[in-house]
Amino acid sequence: MIEPFTKYLLNEKRYSKHTVQSYEIDLLQFQSFLENCDESITTANSKNLRAWVVSLIEAKISSRSVNRKIASLRSFYKFLLKRELVSENPATKLKPLKTPKALPEFVQKSDMDILLDHVEFGDDFAGIRDKVTIDLLYGTGMRLSELINLKISDIDFYGGTIKVLGKRNKERLIPLSKDNITLLRSYIKTKEDASYHSHFLILTDAGSQAYPMMINRLVKKYLNHISKVYKKSPHVLRHTFATHLLDNGADLNAVKELLGHASLAATQVYTHNSLEKLKSTFDLAHPKA
């Protein structure tokens, strides 16, 4: 029943391929565990589920990963219950583990200024592509998957916006700055001069669609020049986008829409970074601090 479940997540729930793949891996791991216990997915009870969770904890799997696997089980058994393939949902008794609430890492504004204004990217196709990649991730806050699937037709040069396809196939428009537009025009011209005719915006050196590992390596390479943040990934630039907006007084609801978050709770985590900055300023400036 794992395959029908994944199709349901893709076609009806509109989950991203990445999310569905994660759910599938979780369930296949659980199925393998049950086989060693001479049980099946449809006969497993809450004790079997708890035993698997305990085995994950003993294997030192992170609390965050364990909680995702618990969420996979809950969703899967809810699916089976609706189709009357099980008489009860054994995952309802599973409780998520406590996880430390770490603040999102972000790059300081001064470091981003150095990266975009002073670091040499090169004037060839690869150099301009690299700068466009960094510029879009930081300038729009889009996700890695959204960047990779961008097409040239998604850019509205006259309206100054770019259209991205987010989670659950939700489209949203993100404003572009004049600098974004100037750089994009230059990149597209260079792309045409190189005789790359792909309709995707970000391409490899060979002219094919970019892929996640390539973008991760690219971002890490340039962030290594200017920042000491522990994580150097496209998502850190998304955190940086949101943090800098809020630090400069942006409305929380507006930031939520720009990021494509489903709820305000997901956006509120960035206010903690702004609060920490205020506390730091208070400690330095107040005579009684």
* Secondary structure, 3-state, 205-227: CCCCECCHHHHHHHHHHHHHHHC
Residues of the chain scoring pLDDT < 50: none
Q: What six digits make up the tokens of 245? A: 């907006």
- The C-alpha torsion from 248 through 158 and 125 to 200, rounded to 10°, is 100
Residue among 170, 127, 177, 117 nearest 146 (CA): 170
- What was the pLDDT predicted at 287? 67
Phi, psi (deg, nearest 5) at residue 18: -65, -45
- Start-end ranges of CATH 1.10.443.10 in the chain? 109-284
Tell me whether residue 234 is exposed, middle or buried, using C-beta atoms within 10 angstroms of its C-beta: 0 to 12, 13 to 18, 19 or more: buried
Q: How high is the pLDDT of residue 51?
A: 93
pLDDT at 75: 93
Q: Bridge-partner residues for 269, per DSSP?
A: none
* Residues classed as catalytic: 143, 167, 235, 238, 261, 270
Domain with CATH 1.10.150.130 in the chain: 2-93
pLDDT at 284: 63
**What single DSSP character describes residue 91?**
G
CB 90 within 8 A of CB 45: yes
C-alpha span between 201 and 209 (Å, rounded): 8
What is the CATH architecture assignment of 109-284?
Orthogonal Bundle (1.10)
CA–CA distance, 118 with 204 (Å, rounded to integer): 24
Distance CA 164, CA 149 (A): 8
Q: How far, in Å, CA of 171 to CA of 53, rounded?
A: 36
The pLDDT value given to residue 286: 62
pLDDT of residue 13: 84
**Beta strand spans in 166-280 (E):** 171-175
**In this predicted structure, what is the pLDDT of residue 30?**
94
pTM: 0.71
Where is 163: in which H helix or E strand? strand 161-165
Residue 68: partners with Cβ closer than 8 Å, 6 or more residues away: 22, 26
Q: Which CATH class is domain 2-93?
A: mainly alpha
